Amino acid sequence: MSPSPLVHLAPAVADALAAGRPVVALESSIIAHGFPPPQNRALADELAATVTAAGAVPAMIAVISGELRVGLDADALDLLVRGNLAKASARDLGPLIAAGVTAGTTVAATARIAALAGIKVFATGGIGGVHRRLPNDSGPPDISADLAELGRTTIAVVTAGAKSILDLPATVEMLETLGIGVIGYGTAEFPAFHSRESGLPLAHRVDGIAPLAAAVRAHLHVAGTAMLVCNPPPAAIAVPWAELSGWIEAALQSAGREGVSGQRVTPHLLAALNRFSGGRSQAVNRALALDNATLAAKLAVAL
């Protein structure tokens, strides 16, 4: 499939796709909005090196000066890590292209652009989902467009479940409603991003790359939706749920007090969680993002 005329492939990505070699798409909101400079630049470089070391070509995706870029060079990364950038979900891409701006792409936007480019495997930290109600908020429910996008886009997404700050039972129900595939890699429980535990059972589990690739390949041929490959955060650094839930409660109180809404909710909650956890949540986020990049690369090689 030839990519959309609006999608700009880096030379290494174009070559790999043309030759049928493994490529892993990487989300850029984690770089633009999740980590402050200079850690964000270091993480972008580590993610790329991790994918390369596991035998695939890394393709971080972002909107750079109005271009949908698949694979970022050093100049593009310099623009992405400055902070205060727009956060692009899939529906924002049209106006952002027209305005010529630079933006980090969410899971929704990254999945859309990756699929346009013909990429089959995408690594993120954790997807968005159904938000919990913030204290004193009586407004409408806040549901990430990540869910709707993954319900109509054929791609494998390696993720540590969904972000722990979300309403995870509601998110898991919505994944079912939308027909999004969910499979545990070495787990029968939906991971909770910073924690390996959520108490939410998974219907499908695999314990090796070959059975994972078989299930993903079949899903991508029949389902017409994304397949979430749920990879729990590394045991050595994951936070027990009992400890995590106190920090999340404090972060929700902080967001409620400040009246945060819209696209600012997720970045605000993650930053607050990092303060309340004394930096532990960001350390887990970094470790799981790198671990997901490794698994995604192995999956892309096997496919």
- Nearest residue (beta carbon) to Mn ion: 142
CA 181 – CA 120 distance, rounded (Å): 14
At its nearest, how many Å lie between ligand PSU and the CB of residue 91? 11
Question: What is the enclosing helix (H) or strand (E) of 58?
Answer: strand 57-64
Catalytic amino acids?
Answer: 27, 163
Name the residue nearer to ligand PSU (CB basis): 144 or 231: 144
**Which C-beta is closer to ligand PSU: that of 206 or that of 244?**
244
Among 40, 144, 282, 294, binds ligand PSU (CB under 6 A): 144
Chosen from ligand PSU, Mn ion, none, partner binding at 30 (C-beta under 5 to 8 Å by type): ligand PSU
Q: How far is the CB of 117 from Mn ion (least distance, A)?
A: 25
Separation between Cα atoms, residue 45 and residue 16, nearest integer Å: 19
- Closest contact distance (angstroms) between CB of 87 and ligand PSU is 6
> Number of C-alpha atoms within 13 angstroms, CB side, residue 154?
11
Given the complex with Mn ion, which of 80 and 147 has the nearer CB atom? 147
Run of H or E including 113: helix 107-117
Cα gap 61→63, rounded to integer Å: 7
Long-range contacts for 63-67 (Cβ within 8 Å, ≥24 apart)?
Answer: 63/88, 63/93, 63/96, 63/97, 63/101, 63/102, 63/103, 63/104, 63/105, 63/109, 64/102, 65/100, 65/101, 65/102, 66/96, 66/97, 66/98, 66/99, 66/100, 66/101, 67/6, 67/8, 67/97
Please report, as residue ranges, which positions from 15 to 54 form the binding site for ligand PSU (by CB under 6 A). 27, 29-30, 33-34
Per CB under 5 A, contacts with Mn ion among 243-272 are: none
Least spacing, CB of residue 264 vs ligand PSU, in Å: 8
Q: How far is the CB of 274 from ligand PSU (least distance, A)?
A: 9
**Amino acid identity of 3?**
P
C-beta neighbour count of 37 within 10 angstroms: 11
CA atoms of 279 and 194, how far apart (whole Å): 12
The reply on whether position 149 binds Mn ion by CB under 5 A is no
Q: How many residues bind ligand PSU (CB under 6 A)?
A: 18
Selected from 146, 149, 167, 291, the binder of ligand PSU by CB under 6 A is 146
Binder of Mn ion out of 92, 142, 146, 149 (CB under 5 A): 142
How far apart CA 211 and CA 216 sit, in angstroms, is 9
Please, which residue, 3 or 128, has the CB nearer to Mn ion?
Answer: 128
Q: Fill in the DSSP letter of residue 127.
A: B
Of residues 13, 68, 260, 270, which one binds ligand PSU by CB under 6 A? 270
Name the minimum Å distance from CB 30 to ligand PSU: 5
Backbone angles phi, psi at 249, to 5 degrees: -60, -45
Interacting residue ranges for ligand PSU, rule: CB under 6 A: 27, 29-30, 33-34, 87, 89, 106-107, 127-128, 144-146, 263, 266-267, 270
